[in-house]
Structure 1
Amino acid sequence: MYGIIFSIGLAGNGLVMLRYIYFNRLKTGTDYYMLNLAIADMVFLITLPFWAASIVRTWIFGKEFCKVIYGLYKMSFFSGMFLLMSVSVERYFAIVQAPSAHRHRSKTVWISKISSLGIWVLAFLLSVPEFIYSGVKEYNSEKNCVIYSDNIQSLNAGLKIAQMASGFLLPLIIMFFCYSMIIVTLLHARNFEKYKAIKVIIAIVIVFVVFQLPYNCVMLIKAFDNSTQCHTSKTIDFADDVTYSLACLRCCLNPFLYVIIGVKFRNDLCKFFKDLGCMSQEKFAKWSTAKPSKRSSFAMETDTTTTFSP
């Protein structure tokens, strides 16, 4: 599972990063959020082969590297959540507060740069416990990279609650509010693509909840689990493995939900392959779409902060 997620996620997020670099698309606030989201997903994906190797065999990479991988994994997790939240906030202002957003459009790029940097700093600070308390523990002659301390139960409980509140509940609440207001605005808009935009928004929220909520629930159960029964412990561990794999799978879906479904991205991708000589002019004309109209919905483009026209 980790191998599949790593391969697909690396390809999808790699194309996103390549597109922004090749076409110099870093011109709007959303562009910077999307690029940073791809970087966060890439950092997260890079940690998966090490966890896979540890599961197949044992942790052979040493104590210090355990801290690095654990810390990077958690930092990329938090940064990804906060960046998704930032995208929803920017879309809210661009669509719901369209007149105000248009007046302050020149500031959006500067704000996105500062906020992206702030997100990475905040993600690092929230990941400090992983850098401090992670290490290699030996169980039944097998070494594992885990978090441990003298009071592991209270430490785990405190970490899981804090991380779930800041890394899942807060982004979920803000995303739900922003996208709800966006849907209301789109329903009152004179735009023939508004229902497509609403479907995309609903898909984004559903994917976020379906792939993140189960893992966060299991994480919370593990934090307060005091059971000494072997069957209960195995059941929770199995649930942890399954839900964690689903949460990892979301990294593969981010490029498709937030960028690749955008018209501009598809056109850029076709042009990139045509420039490389991998696509003929006939196929380029067939697969690339017509230039979107100025009245295209912001939610459908996903890679522009053009003010929505009601």
Structure 2
Amino acid sequence: MSPSVESEAHLPWSIIRYLACTILSLAFIIGVPGNTFVIWTICGRMKQRSPTIVMILNLAIADLLVLGTLPIWIYSIAKTWVFGLITCKILTFLIYSSMYASVFLIVALSMERFMAVFYPFAIQRWKKKKATSLGLLLIWLLSIAFGAGGIPFKGVDDEDGIECMVVSYYSNTQLIACLLLETLVGFVVPFAIISICYVCVGRRISKMTCPSKRRSAMLITAVVVAFALCWLPHHTINLISIAAALTEDSHPEGSKALENISEVGSYIAGSIALISSCINPLLYAFAARNFQSSVRFERLSKLFELMIPSVREGGTKEASSTPGQDETLTSSAII
């Protein structure tokens, strides 16, 4: 192959790698300060932390764990992987565990919103510190379990210029099962739950006239849309890989073409998925921009207080509230 032809053959890959590095760099530059600011605001400026705030804190921590590894991935994509097999497995485990934790936390937040809107008093019985701690422990244990499930298949490619996150399955059946499980658990089922919860919440909020609740509804919509846009490409690549495996025997040429699309698209899709780790602080900042305060952490604190889906008047109010009061209290329970 002549130098000119070789350079043309490698041009698409160089563009893809450059684009992936650019996306990851922007995610790191925006996401690390953003999530650090969220963590600092909650830990340093909020004395009382509701279960909602604790889940937002854990979400920021999970996102920060992912973002902290990006310089290594940027270097490996731009150059080559020089950190060894063990480091590769540890970092991929961290990425996948944090990914599942973020998804599960967003699902938990959406279910909490649903309960707060339709069962505002019943949810108070569950919103105890011990129950919250157990729920978060379960989320992290499940995330670690799903994250560890892919470790045996992740490795380093020593043939084509050492590259981490090469996936080696023992059979197509195993590949299909693993990728299908990842897509179902990491996207399809969570997105279905989130969508159903927020559609129901949105309908209830649309009947209210309180501006703060409508602003919160817009934040809800933005979180759901961002989740879908960030993760859809990654799981679409998974489905393409599954299709390639299913058609390997019946349509080998088509299977090879799908495999090539999957290989090329995985760089960009993976980079876009990691944007999800930096998007939430931007959404919080945008939603908090109208609060009357010159200090940013005070605006963010007010936003987080607004996001607490709780009946603000508890105790005896619950037993003595009239139907009109019930509607008012329910309104105050919606983010």
Scaled by the length of structure 1, the TM-score of the pair is 0.81
> Is 1:73 the counterpart of 2:95 in the alignment?
yes
Look up the match of 2:52. 30
> Is 1:131 the counterpart of 2:151 in the alignment?
yes
Which of 309, 321, 335 is matched with 1:305 structurally?
309
> Is 1:217 the counterpart of 2:236 in the alignment?
yes
> Is 1:245 the counterpart of 2:271 in the alignment?
yes
- State the one-letter code of the partner of 1:238: V
Does the 8 A contact of 1:179 with 1:201 survive in 2?
yes
Does the 8 A contact of 1:28 with 1:108 survive in 2?
no
Look up the match of 2:164. 144
Flag the 1:20–1:265 CA change in 2: closer, same or farther, 3 A.
farther
Does the 8 A contact of 2:27 with 2:278 survive in 1?
yes
Taking the aligned partners of 1:120 and 1:131, their CA distance within structure 2 comes to 17
Flag the 1:108–1:96 CA change in 2: closer, same or farther, 3 A.
farther
Q: Detail structure 1 runs of 4+ shifted over 6 Å in the superposition.
A: 264-269
> Is 1:49 the counterpart of 2:74 in the alignment?
no
Does the 8 A contact of 2:114 with 2:201 survive in 1?
yes
Look up the match of 1:11. 33
Which of 190, 194, 200 is matched with 1:181 structurally?
200
Taking the aligned partners of 1:32 and 1:269, their CA distance within structure 2 comes to 25
Which of 184, 203, 221 is matched with 1:202 structurally?
221
Flag the 1:214–1:32 CA change in 2: closer, same or farther, 3 A.
same
> Is 1:166 the counterpart of 2:191 in the alignment?
no
Match of 1:127, SS state, is helix
Taking the aligned partners of 2:135 and 2:185, their CA distance within structure 1 comes to 16
Does the 8 A contact of 1:20 with 1:26 survive in 2?
no
Flag the 1:271–1:169 CA change in 2: closer, same or farther, 3 A.
closer
Flag the 1:116–1:268 CA change in 2: closer, same or farther, 3 A.
farther
Does the 8 A contact of 1:67 with 1:135 survive in 2?
yes
Taking the aligned partners of 2:290 and 2:178, their CA distance within structure 1 comes to 38
Gaps of 5+ in 1: 273-287, 293-297
- State the one-letter code of the partner of 2:139: I
Flag the 1:224–1:198 CA change in 2: closer, same or farther, 3 A.
same
How far the C-alpha of 1:108 sits from its partner, in A, is 4.0
Does the 8 A contact of 1:262 with 1:301 survive in 2?
no
Which of 261, 265, 285 is matched with 1:260 structurally?
285
- State the one-letter code of the partner of 2:227: F
Taking the aligned partners of 1:187 and 1:141, their CA distance within structure 2 comes to 55
- State the one-letter code of the partner of 2:185: S
Match of 1:98, SS state, is coil
> Is 1:104 the counterpart of 2:109 in the alignment?
no
How far the C-alpha of 1:233 sits from its partner, in A, is 4.3
Q: Deviations over 1:117-173 (max 9, x none)?
A: 11110011112222223222212343434232433x333221110011111112111
Radius of gyration: which is bigger? 2
Does the 8 A contact of 1:137 with 1:144 survive in 2?
yes
Gaps of 5+ in 2: 1-22, 312-328
Percent identity between matched residues is 23
> Is 1:120 the counterpart of 2:140 in the alignment?
yes
Flag the 1:199–1:157 CA change in 2: closer, same or farther, 3 A.
same
Taking the aligned partners of 1:265 and 1:45, their CA distance within structure 2 comes to 28
Taking the aligned partners of 1:171 and 1:34, their CA distance within structure 2 comes to 17
How far the C-alpha of 1:232 sits from its partner, in A, is 5.0
Scaled by the length of structure 2, the TM-score of the pair is 0.75
Look up the match of 1:91. 113
Flag the 1:141–1:82 CA change in 2: closer, same or farther, 3 A.
closer
